[in-house]
Chain A
Amino acid sequence: MNQFLLIIVPLVGAALAAAWPSNRTRPWFLPVFGLLHVVLTFWLFINPPVVAPEAWLGFDPLARAVLPAVSLLFLICAAYGVSYLRIRSERPNRVFVALLLAILGLLSAGHQARHLGLLWIATEAVTLAAVPLLHFNATPRAFEATWKYLLVGGTGIALSLLGSFCLGYASLHGGGVGDLTFTALTAQGAGLSRPWVLTAWVLLLVGYGTKMGLAPMHTWKPDAYGEAPSIVGAILAGGVTTVAFTAILRVRSVVGAAGEGHIADRTLLLIGLFSMLVAALFLLGTRDFKRMLAYSSVEHMGILSIGAALGGAGVAAALFHVWSNGLTKGALFLSAGNIRRAAGSPSMDDVRGMSLLTPRSAAIFVTGMFAVTALPPFGPFFSELQVIRAALAAGQGVATAMFLGCLLLAFFGLTRVVFGIVDGRPRPTTRANAQRFVETAGVIVPPLVLLGLSLWLGLFTPAILREAWAAAATQLFPAP
């Protein structure tokens, strides 16, 4: 029952928020329902329910390994959202608040979906629900970004639907009775028709990869992250992408059961490395620090898919990375949002010396940058090291070398941009603009908390979390 609550509670909240009259008090729905959701999630996390194998929806190990991170990230972003929406009080926030909560509900559904169709529906519902959030600023640039997000994402939707059809037909052709729960598909295993499975894998990888933002399907990301409010960016990067990732993981387990695991792994590894390389090259040149975050997110999606390509240990490491990257990226997005608001521009060309204008946000931004580039003792360091170790254990020496090389290039790019905007003497225009922005506790504490979580996650990874990741890995890769 509780797993349904995870979905229903936020949706109810969304409905209430939509009905709520006051623009000033409506934002409080976000933290309240976020908190409720966190409580529910962690209650389920501590004592996980038994999931019936034929259930279409369930808090199974995979959901247990990822959903808490999303919920936590959402709560903190929600807390930030209250003060953010107070700053943006000139904009009506009815749609914004309602859809954010709706997204939380749909994310819970997507993470818990154990049925091909349900998973697809949830994922795409999230995609569509995110659309109005992207053009919250209602600038032409925002609409352009939304348009691209919509059509590229829509293509992704279409392809993943086609992929789902193919997988369904594979089961049908293999004598299945049309039961599309992952349990059934996995059970059918080698009975699935090989050509259809492979076609389905390619289509689903591209479709959900578009949503994850793997290169070369990442093109919507910089525009969307660059134009959307940073809180939306944080939730997209830390929440929505993870749904697509878990989708790929679930499909991967079916393909593995069908005996095509090695091909799937090869494709995952290659597309991951390619994404990292592309992202690193973009990072070397980009001059916009919000787009920079988008490319960094592409890079980390690459890391995730590389982890997924490395079997059990790699998947556990990747799930660890989902947590560490999501939380750290959140801190980066929120502090970047502060800097963006204070500076009035996201471009290195006009933003300088923010360490003098917004010292706290700048400090968080720099720390977050170091954290996300695997500086110990923050979370990403440990998770990426686990990925590296898994890769080496799997004998992927060359891939590891490329992986490290891309990390290095990305580090060059990120430090270049970050110190470019933090150092130096601010321009007078920036100075004037920054007068209107106050670093209140409301906009400083949430990113700080995220950084703290990332640190805690790295240094004192709770045994129960490791156990949850390992359980998820065994769920996807049952030990032969």
Chain B
Amino acid sequence: MSGGTLNLLIGLAMGLNLLALGSSRLPSLIRAMSLQGVFLGVMPLLMEYETLNWRVVAVALATMVGKGVLIPGLLRRAMRAANIEREIEPFISFVPSLLLGAGGTIAAVALARALPLLPEHAGTLLVPGAIASILTGFILLIGRAKAISQVCGYLILENGIYLFGLLLIHSTPLLVESGILLDVTVGVFVIGIIVDRIQRAFDSLDTRKLTTLRE
């Protein structure tokens, strides 16, 4: 039954990817991302529910708090400071990114077949979901002009990797957990700080302004 729930959650996460790709308004983008973070936080609990131990719980909590609350909050603050509401003229506009994302998701499902899985993972959507989120992350990173959207893209990319990491959470917990914790630190501290600093230095979050360093 848990596998079903897990796949359901992953499917929702994939849906959120498309939402993130399609929305031109930053708040909805952030909301999609944070929601995805929360879903991801739930997953380990689902996977490990019979052998539940404190580490898994910690990971789950860290994820939910970090990706679901802290970072979105930070981004919202920066957004308000820079008072930007929406993504204007992105490098890849919304419909194409949607199509790309959708196509990518389909391709991901197909591609996942190429990689052999262990029987216990055979049924899950973990791999396609991971690939799809990674793809979404890249599309946002490449296609959006606002620093905030790029950060969201980066975090969705991380979410994808996290999804993938769940394959290993049983066998090599430490790798996964440390990875997750590091994501959170990257996300929270560094990116947050830099976004803030850039907002102050350029008093805008439009990366079009950040092209003075060039050949």
Contacts and interface: CB of A to CB of B under 8 A. Distances in A.
Interface stretch (A3-11, A171-179, A385-393): A171-179
Contacts of B201: 140, 143
A128 B198 contact: no
B164 A168 contact: no
Contacts of B147: 147
Interface string A147-184: 11011001101100110111011001100111010000
B212 interface: yes
Nearest to A177: B171
Contacts of A148: 210, 213
A124 B175 contact: no
Contacts of A173: 116-118
Interface stretch (A77-85, A192-200, A322-330, A466-474): A192-200
Given A128-B185, A151-B154, A158-B158, A164 B215 contact: no
Contacts of B175: 116-117, 120, 164-165, 168, 180
A40 interface: no
Contact of B194 (A143, A157, A222): A143
Interface string B190-211: 1100100110011000010010
B150 A151 contact: yes
B114, B185, B198: most-surrounded residue (chain A CB, <10 A): B198
Nearest to B180: A161
B174 interface: yes
A131 interface: yes
Contacts of B116: 173, 193, 195-196
B168 A286 contact: no
Contacts of B190: 128, 131, 150
Contacts of B185: 128
A162 B161 contact: yes
Interface residues of A, number: 48
A10 to B, nearest CB: 20
Interface in A126-142: 128, 131, 135, 140-141
A165 B167 contact: yes
A124 B157 CA distance: 16
Given A140-B202, A172-B118, A178 B171 contact: yes
B106 interface: no
Q: Report whether over half of chain A's contact residues are helix, strand or loop; otherwise say mixed.
A: helix
B179 interface: yes
A230 interface: no
B178 interface: yes
Chain B interface, >50% SS class: helix
Contact of A146 (B154, B171, B194): B194
B174 A117 contact: yes
A143 B186 contact: no
Interface in B73-105: none
Contacts of A150: 190-191, 194
Given A154-B154, A195-B116, A227-B213, A135 B168 contact: no
A140 B207 CA distance: 13
B141 A165 contact: no
Contacts of B114: 195
Interface in B129-174: 134, 141, 147, 150, 154, 157-158, 161, 164-165, 167-168, 171-172, 174
A18 interface: no
A285 B182 CA distance: 39
Contacts of B213: 141, 144-145, 148, 222-223, 226-227
Contacts of B1: none
A150 B210 CA distance: 14
B161 A169 contact: no
Nearest to A224: B213
Contacts of B212: 140-141, 144
30 contacts: A117-B174, A117-B178, A128-B186, A131-B194, A135-B197, A140-B202, A143-B201, A145-B213, A147-B147, A147-B207, A147-B210, A148-B213, A154-B191, A155-B154, A161-B161, A161-B179, A164-B175, A165-B161, A165-B176, A168-B168, A168-B172, A169-B167, A172-B171, A173-B118, A195-B115, A196-B115, A196-B116, A222-B213, A222-B215, A286-B215
Given A168-B172, A168-B175, 14 more contacts: A116-B175, A121-B178, A124-B182, A128-B186, A144-B198, A165-B164, A169-B168, A173-B117, A177-B171, A195-B115, A195-B116, A222-B213, A226-B213, A285-B215
